[in-house]
Amino acid sequence: MATAPFKTEPSPQNWQQQLADAFTNLNDLCRYLELPPEAVALSATAAENFPLRVPRSYAENIKKATPNDPLLLQILPLQAELWSYPGFSDDPVGDLNAIKVPGVLHKYHGRALFINTGSCAINCRYCFRRNFPYADFQLSKEKEQAAIAYIEQNPSISEVILSGGDPLTLSDNRLAKLILQLNQIKHLKRLRIHSRLPTVLPARITTDLIDIFNKSCFPIVMVIHCNHANELNHQVIAALTLLKNSRITLLNQSVLLKNINDSSDALCALSEALFDYGVMPYYLHILDKAQGTGHFEVSEAIGLNLIKQMQAVLPGYLVPKLVKEIAGAPAKQAVNI
């Protein structure tokens, strides 16, 4: 697959300033995208329930005056978010029952999720934690130390997963201190980071951040989140190149989303593009049934058919695992053919 030339360094603009300059007003976003309000079923109430947040670096990838753009549909507050769907809830994957101490979700053997922040660079409308009560679990210094102590006191935990929110919205200083503390825990073998920032705010991936990662005593696996090949612009490719050249293992997880990536052509293009830039397709998630996201749902039967179509044209290592999460299950559940 031919690729356009690109810079080997991400945008020099300060990532924190870019984060502060993100679109948070629906009218401003529509004006920028030349999108007449009557062209889509927008909802100010939906934007109040789950605030709009879109970095300009992501908005630049959206085709203007195109209501059905696959990137636009991921971030636009619509009236459909107010509809009720059977089986959808505020805690679709049982996160609240998995909280052992504030900041630690311990669902699966051998790994624990460390939630340091509820902040994200972008508010994806299909987010399974869009209703998570982050305000109730804000980590003071004391609570953060209690979370680290929980991990330290549980030798069965060999992998810590930094999640959120998005852990890369933390400052370099906080990330460096956290990694330093985790380095002291002898039974840890890996550090995993789940982040959307490499694709929606690529300026966050700096040489300073890479230096922090290089101070980790254990291998780092970064699971990025990209749903469509159109998200992979030159700045994103530059950020992924920095990560890849630092020997960080890069995986991708996507969510199967109606009218966004629910075609074999879209999914194959994504897998091919990810591999070109050093990222292995990992998971394709069946939508978690969070209240407000029902209009994105694609059935398991359609998902299975799409996987079959991908297997017919791609090598096996480019076909992601189709999975779903069931509250209380000991692992992600494969949706088998």
Q: Which of 114, 109, 134 has its CA nearest to residue 331?
A: 109
Per-residue pLDDT, averaged over 7-17, amounts to 64
What is the model's pLDDT at position 182? 97
What is the model's pLDDT at position 1? 41
| Type of residue at 20 | A
Residue 73 has pLDDT above 90, yes or no: yes
Residue 45 backbone dihedrals phi, psi, to 5 degrees = -65, -45
d(C-alpha 66, C-alpha 46), whole Å: 21
pLDDT tens-digit profile of 90-136? 999 999 999 999 999 999 999 999 998 999 999 999 999 999 988 77
Lowest mean pLDDT: which of 134-143, 181-190, 289-298? 134-143
What is the model's pLDDT at position 271? 98
Lowest mean pLDDT: which of 5-9, 156-160, 168-172, 237-241? 5-9
Name the pLDDT band for 164 (thresholds 50, 70, 90): confident
What is the model's pLDDT at position 37? 78
Judging by beta carbons within 10 Å of its beta carbon (0-12, 13-18, 19+), is residue 217 exposed, middle or buried? middle
Percentage of residues of the chain with pLDDT beyond 70: 96
What is the model's pLDDT at position 5? 38
Percentage of residues of the chain with pLDDT beyond 90: 88
Residue 111 backbone dihedrals phi, psi, to 5 degrees = -145, 145
Per-residue pLDDT, averaged over 54-83, amounts to 97
Per-residue pLDDT, averaged over 287-316, amounts to 98
Residue 255 has pLDDT above 70, yes or no: yes
Per-residue pLDDT, averaged over 53-75, amounts to 97
What is the model's pLDDT at position 337? 64
| DSSP 8-state code for residue 62 | S
